[in-house]
Amino acid sequence: MSNVTGEVEQDTSGAGVVKKFMFVNRKAPYGTVYALEGLEVVLISAAFDQDVSLVFLDDGVYDLVKGQNTKGIEVKNFSPTYRALEGYDIEKLYVERESLAARGLSQDNLIVPVEVLSAAELSELMGQQDVVISF
Amino acid sequence: MLHIVNKSPFQTTTLESCLRIARPGSALLLIEDAVYAVAKGNAVEARVRQAAETLEVYALAPDLEARGMKDAAIDGVRLIDYEGFVDLVAAHEPVQSWL
Amino acid sequence: MKFGLLVSEGPYTHQAPDTAYQFAKAALAKGHSIQRVFFYHDGVNNSTKLTEPPQDDRHIVNRWSKLAEEHGIDLVVCVAAALRRGICDENLAKGFRISGLGQLVEAGIQADRLVVFGD
């Protein structure tokens, strides 16, 4: 029998296990669904009290650009949700310096405060993770 | 750490991004369309050879064979099957699929 | 070792579900276990019983159902992604169940390794 459950299911075994989860975004918003649906996973992960980092790399940095107005394309603007992450205790947001620079962007263009890391620093952080999920 | 790339280096910049981030000593596994990266005589051969100096570079043999590239791989790239893929994942933590 | 798999693309259009399936088979052959296969984004389309691929090619949906049946593998389809794409109990193939994204996070916590198969 299958069941449909929309609610968050709490971890019942391995209770108390805290793993380092890194969610990697490399894709721009709206051209594909990955940034939006990726964000939905990140929000759910907040309920599991894990050590969550969110990384924006390559075109993923575009997900955080300010001033997104989707009226003309009639697609839901999900960028305000990045501002809600703090309220879920998801505060470790990282952007790769090289990705920003290649796209002519700076932190001032972004909708939320982030920590800007070099490729080397990001690499180090990635190596420390238990689970890496890319969208 | 294990990095997995599945896109041709001529289709996307994914392999290049991965190589920018991957640290010496980590493993790189090329699967699906990414196996074209290890073929002799292509425009990324030098880049892949350079990567193989500091990373353990692997390619999924069934994907090479499917694409008619069975004997095309450069030296320095280890060809593995799906069981080898499983072993690589078991031996490394974390595993990052570059999507 | 316990493996969790995340399948992020649909059958036939991307090789991801094929690679995931071959990985799962190889892992089982080596005596490992599969904690869960979670289907997200277009990956939910691996679970519809309405597919009719040509007879001389692999039947991806049935392959998953058979794997689940033979090895007791938990095939979970994300409810939000499924609703977006028209997958529901009515057209769900055998061996799959629809559940929340929490099941993916749980797989990450409970499995020794989580491997993502996508675009």
Domains present along chain B, CATH in parentheses: 2-98 (3.40.1260.10)
- Provide the CATH number for the domain around residue C84: 3.40.1260.10
At residue B79, what is the residue type? L
In chain C, residues with a C-beta closer than 8 Å to the C-beta of B6 are 15-16, 19, 119
What sign for the dihedral angle of Cα A90, B15, C44, C71? negative
pTM of the model: 0.95
* Choice among A11-15, B79-83, C23-27, C110-114 with the minimum mean pLDDT: A11-15
Chain B hits for C24, CB-CB cut-off 8 Å, are none
Number of domains comprising chain C: 1
Among candidates B20, B95, B97 on the partner chain, residue whose Cβ is nearest the Cβ of A119:
B20
Q: Per the CB < 8 Å rule, is A26 touching B22?
A: no
Torsion region of A54: left, alpha or beta (phi above 0 gives left; psi -120 to 50 gives alpha): beta
**Four-CA torsion B74, B77, B78, B83, nearest 10 degrees:** -100
Q: How do the pLDDT tens digits run along chain A, 135 residues long?
A: 444 444 444 444 556 899 999 999 999 999 999 999 999 999 999 999 999 999 999 999 999 999 999 999 999 999 999 999 999 999 999 999 999 999 999 999 999 999 999 999 999 999 999 999 999
- For the question of an ipTM over 0.85, the answer is yes
C25 CB contacts (<8 Å, ≥6 apart)? B82, C67
Selected for mutation to probe chain C from A27, A59, A133, A134 (highest C CB count within 10 Å) is A133
- C78, C98, C107, C111: the catalytic one is C78
Query: From C114, which residue of chain A is nearest by alpha-carbon distance?
Result: A131
Q: Which of C20, C97, C94, C101 is nearest to C51 (CA)?
A: C94
The yes-or-no answer on residue C78 being catalytic is: yes
Correct CATH for A20-134 of 3.30.530.20, 2.60.120.260, 3.40.50.720, 3.40.1260.10 = 3.40.1260.10
Domain that holds residue C95: 2-117
What are the pLDDT digits (tens) for C1-51? 999 999 999 999 999 999 999 999 999 999 999 999 999 999 999 999 999
Q: Which residues, including other chains, have CB under 8 Å from residue B84's CB and lie 6 or more apart?
A: B58
Domain boundaries, chain A: 20-134
Contact (CB, 8 A) for B10 and A51: no
